[in-house]
Amino acid sequence: MNKVNSVEAESLGVKKRKSTPPISSGQVNNKKVKIEDQPQTQTQTQTRLAYSITPEDKNGNDVEEESVEEIAKQYKKFKNAAKFDLNSEELFCICRKPDNGEMMVQCDGCEEWFHFKCMKLKQENSNLIAKFFCKFCDWQNTGVTLWKRKCRVSWCKDPIRNDSKYCSDEHGKLFMKELLVDKKPITDHDLASNKIKTIMDHSGYNYEVLINLGSQFPELDIVKEYNETNGANIDKFPTETKQELNSIKRRFLKIKQLIEKFEKREAYLLEIKEKNKSLNDKLLRAIYPEVKTEDTTSTSGKKKKSSKSKKLDICFHDKSLDKISTEKSIIDEILTNEDQFNKLKTTIEQKINEESDDVLYNELLCIQDRKKCPRHNGWWNLLNDEVTKKLIEYNQTLDKLEAQKKAALRNYSIEIYDN
């Protein structure tokens, strides 16, 4: 198990097995340990164990990890070994022996059963297995064995409860008694008894206050002022921190300007889409004045197509809109200027009557029939998608800059606290 000592546990739900009645994780009989589908919370599984889980040999002594070459040889032998003995008894584990009553655990990868001793696992840790992968599945990167975090009481081998560091209230009280009353050293990382007393005094021995200690980072007043005044007090920071914050702010403002620009373009493209339709309708009425509508309604209420119905669907792709800097299309001028409109109407009438082969009006506006214009097929969607993509990109950049600002302020606070 070459990753047991360093694995970081995760929230998980272990899949159920089809064979053998399930025994929940931590329940052990004389034969097998079954890891059942029991999701673990982040508190239970995401932290490293408070003590080391190391492989052991048959005598209970810690052993060195096996090399990749050794595991590869064992795997080849394991795969080629018989599944049943001469008495038709099923054989298990790498030792290929029948179930003789020794404690076993099932692999979540290959679903084979293995003896604790053969996997160099300590039986006393059986309740702490959250998800087990044998040495072969580990070697093949199928999965890594995960462990539940153990109770802080040194000799207890039970997993912690949800939102706790102990398996029970009794062990929580016992741990605090050993630390505060008996003054028993726990680990190098534990608080000294005098510090714990200071914390208890600070919380006023109030449970709600105590459990919320550390839930929020204690911001310095200068940091709070910076956030509230949008950086007006930046001169109060050290030179290095000030330079970093100013650099972040300059980039932030630049991105904000780009976002405003593209938001305006996004809104304008929506206007152009509607104006494109309005221009087609206006040209249809001007070129075919006898046609009032494409559809007529019968007495029965159903729409039927008029024999005189005409339809005009011009592409109207404006070449100038391909440039991001363009803020106004020639379509606006055509819709508001009668001379420009009449000029466009004449050009399109000539094209309809096949008197002209022009495809551009004023060298900017495509006047091809939309269905006969593959060059600009879906032009509006392409322009709009480009704007949407840019807006997503810039907003993500803003989030990153905001995170950088928080990190700079946090690092400054930590430096002050450390000193």
Contact (Cβ atoms closer than 8 angstroms) between residue 121 and residue 1: yes
Domain count, the chain: 3
Same domain, 179 and 138: no
Smallest CA-to-CA distance from 4 within 59, 60, 66, 72 is with: 66
Q: What is the DSSP letter of 126?
A: G
Tell me the average pLDDT across 56-72. 69
Q: Would you say the C-alpha torsion 75, 109, 158, 29 has a positive or negative sign?
A: negative
Residues 256 and 198 in one domain: no
Cβ distance 124 to 51 under 8 Å?
A: no
Regarding whether 322 and 246 lie in a shared domain, the answer is yes
Question: Residue 417 above 60 pLDDT?
Answer: yes
In one-letter notation, the amino acid at residue 236 is K
If asked whether residues 203 and 231 sit together in one domain, one would say no
- Are 113 and 229 members of one domain? no
Residues 127, 137, single domain; the answer is: yes
pLDDT (0 to 100) of residue 299: 53
Return the SS3 of 54. coil
Which DSSP string corresponds to 246-273? HHHHHHHHHHHHHHHHHHHHHHHHHHHH
Establish if 14 belongs to a structural domain: no
Residues 67 and 207 both lie in one domain? no
User: What is the mean predicted confidence (pLDDT) over 139-152?
Assistant: 90
364-410 pLDDT, tens digit per residue, is: 899 888 888 998 999 999 999 999 999 999 999 999 999 999 999 99
Q: Which of 143-157, 186-200, 206-220, 347-361 tops mean pLDDT?
A: 143-157
**Residue 142 lies in domain:** 32-147
Write out the DSSP string of 281-339.
HHHHHHH-TT---SEEE-TTS-EEE-TT-----B---BGGGGSTT----HHHHHHH-HH
Domain containing 90 — which CATH number?
Answer: 3.30.40.10
Q: Is the pLDDT of residue 186 over 80?
A: no
Tokens 């290929």 -> residue: 96
The CA distance from 285 to 272, in Å, is 20
- Give the pLDDT band (50/70/90) at residue 36: very low
Residue 266 has pLDDT above 90, yes or no: yes
Is residue 146 predicted with pLDDT exceeding 50?
yes
Between CA 214 and CA 217, with CA 215 as vertex, the angle to 5 degrees is: 70
Residues 6+ apart with CB under 8 A from 277: none
Question: Which stretch of DSSP H or E encloses residue 104?
Answer: strand 104-106
Q: Using one digit for the tens of pLDDT, what is the confidence trace for 2-12?
A: 333 333 333 33
Instruction: Report DSSP state, residue 17.
Output: P
Tell me: do 227 and 356 sit in the same domain.
Answer: yes
Domain assignment present for 301: no
Single out the residue of 278, 22, 3 nearest to residue 119, CA to CA: 3
pTM of the shown model:
0.50
CA distance 403 to 405: 5
Q: Which residues, listed in sequence order, are joined to residue 28 by a DSSP beta bridge?
A: 33
Same domain, residue pair 265 and 373: yes
